[in-house]
Amino acid sequence: MTPAQLVQQWVDAFNNADAGALEAMYATDAVNHQMPNHAVHGKEAIGQMFRNEFAMASEMHCIPVQIIEQGNWAVLEWRDPKGFGGCGFFEIKNNLIQTQRGYWDKLSFYKLHNIPLPQ
């Protein structure tokens, strides 16, 4: 499977709010760092992160604008149905996500989804 194909499967699982399927796509020692947040280390912690996020904002949906592949990396430019957008970088090793970094505006996301701002 190519990195771009794996990222497309990731998008499908994300859009189905399937935290278990997402967790299965990560290496045991994977790191997911959504830049507005602290890095999350380990497959199980990443799965829990998705469970928490889906519970907090049930309307999350990823529409790929483009997926670009270079070597063992894939870049996902995305938007959601409300026009909110961002970008994710996925390093793939042995058909699993080893590293993921995401860039998006947390304040805009919270406001768009009516999530109370942390104090």
**What does the domain layout of the chain look like in residue ranges?**
3-93+102-112
- Per-residue H/E/C for 7-52: HHHHHHHHHCCCHHHHHHCEEEEEEEEECCCCCEECHHHHHHHHHH
What is the CATH code for 3-93+102-112? 3.10.450.50
Residues 24-59 have pLDDT tens digits of 999 999 999 999 889 999 999 999 999 999 998 767
Strand 26-34 with 96-103, pairing = parallel
Threshold 0.85, pTM exceeds: yes
Task: Give 82-110 pLDDT, tens digit per residue.
Answer: 888 999 999 999 999 999 999 988 788 78
